[in-house]
Amino acid sequence: MEKNKRLLSKKLKNMSGLRGKVIIITGASGGIGEAAARAFDREGARLVLVSRREEKLKGIASELKEALVIPSDLSDEAQAKAMIEKTIAHYGHLDILINNAASIIVVPAGKVSTTDFLKAFMTNLCGPAQATILAIQQMEDQGEGHIINIGSPGFMMGIPFYSPYVCSKAAFSAWTRTIQAEWADSCVKISEYFPGYILTDSNPESRIGEISQDFLMEDKQNFIAKHFTKPQSPEQVAKQLIRLANKPRPLMCSSFQVKLGTFISNFPSFRLIIASQMARTARSKMKLNQHL
C-alpha cells in the first residue's frame, strides 16, 4: 500500500511539473513545433509560439489554453532577441526555451551558394544563439531555467543534398555542447535533442525543383539505409520533449535507430553505405522528375 502511494505521488508530481511554466517554442507553426505546443498545452504550460507564419500561429494559439504569439524571423538577430524580451515583458519570466526553428535547403553540394549557407547559418545558429544568450541571463537572474536545442544527427552521417542544413546543424551542435560545458555549474540546464527523420506536412526549400519529403527514401533500398530513414511523427517527438523538459539531460535521441546511427557515423565504411544509398535514391528521383 505504501509503495502504491509513493508511485501515485511521483506520478502526480511528474504530471504537474510543467504546469504554469513559461515555454518558448520556435518553429511552432507546424511539424515538431506545433505538436510540441499542443503537448505542452495539455501539461498546463503557458506558451509562447514563434514562427514567421503569424496567421498559422494565431490559428494554433486559438485552440490552446494560454499562448502568446510572437511572429519572428530568427535569421534576424534583433528579432530573435526581441522574442525573449517580449516574453519577459508579457509573463515576467521564462522557464524553458525550445530552439526548434530551422531553415532546410535542398541543393547539390556542387551548386550550393554562399547565400544558401548564410541563410541556413543565420536561422539555425546565429539567431538561436543570440536568443539563448539573452534567455540564459534571465534564467540565471531568476535562479533556474532550461534550454532545449533541437539538433540533427544528420551532420554526422552527411545527408546528401542537404549541405546547408547539416553544416549549420553541426555548428549548432558545437554551440550547444560548448554552452553545456560553460554553464555546467550554473542553475541553467542545457539539453540537446536529436530527432531522426520526422514526417511533417511541409517540404524543404528546394533548389532542384519540387521534391517530396521522401526524397531520400526508396522501398528498394538496402536494409540498413531503409532502417535509418524510417520516419517518426511529430507527436512522438512531442511526447519525448515533455519527458526531457521534466527530466533534463545533456542529450536525448528520438529512437534507438538514431542512437545507433550516431554510433555508426563514426565508422566511414558503414556511414558511406547509408549516405551513398540515399544519394543514389535522390538522383534516381531527380532523373524521373526531369522526364515528367
Does residue 166 belong to any structural domain of this protein?
yes
Q: CA torsion sign, 206 to 208 to 212 to 216?
A: negative
Does residue 7 belong to any structural domain of this protein?
no
Does residue 9 belong to any structural domain of this protein?
no
Place of cell 511539473: 17
When pLDDT is cut at 50, 70 and 90, the band that residue 13 belongs to is very low
Segments forming the whole domain that contains residue 210? 14-290
Contact 250, 180 (CB under 8 A): yes
Q: What is the pLDDT of residues 59-75, one digit of tens each?
A: 999 999 999 999 999 99
Domain containing 75 — which CATH number? 3.40.50.720
Residue 21 amino acid letter:
K
Average pLDDT of the segment spanning 238-267: 90
pTM of the model: 0.87
How far apart CA 51 and CA 100 sit, in angstroms, is 10
When pLDDT is cut at 50, 70 and 90, the band that residue 201 belongs to is low
Does residue 6 belong to any structural domain of this protein?
no
Q: In what order do the strands lie in the sheet with 251-253?
A: 67-71, 46-51, 22-26, 96-99, 145-150, 188-194, 251-253
Does residue 145 belong to any structural domain of this protein?
yes
Number of structural domains in the chain: 1
Does residue 5 belong to any structural domain of this protein?
no
Task: Give the pLDDT score at 213.
Answer: 66
Does residue 3 belong to any structural domain of this protein?
no
Q: What is the pLDDT of residues 78-107, one digit of tens each?
A: 999 999 999 999 999 999 999 999 999 999
Enzyme catalytic residues: 165
When pLDDT is cut at 50, 70 and 90, the band that residue 291 belongs to is very low
Q: What is the pLDDT of residues 114-143, one digit of tens each?
A: 999 999 999 999 999 999 999 999 999 999
Q: Distance between alpha carbon 226 and the CA centroid of its chain, in Å?
A: 22
Task: Give the pLDDT score at 229.
Answer: 57
Does residue 80 belong to any structural domain of this protein?
yes
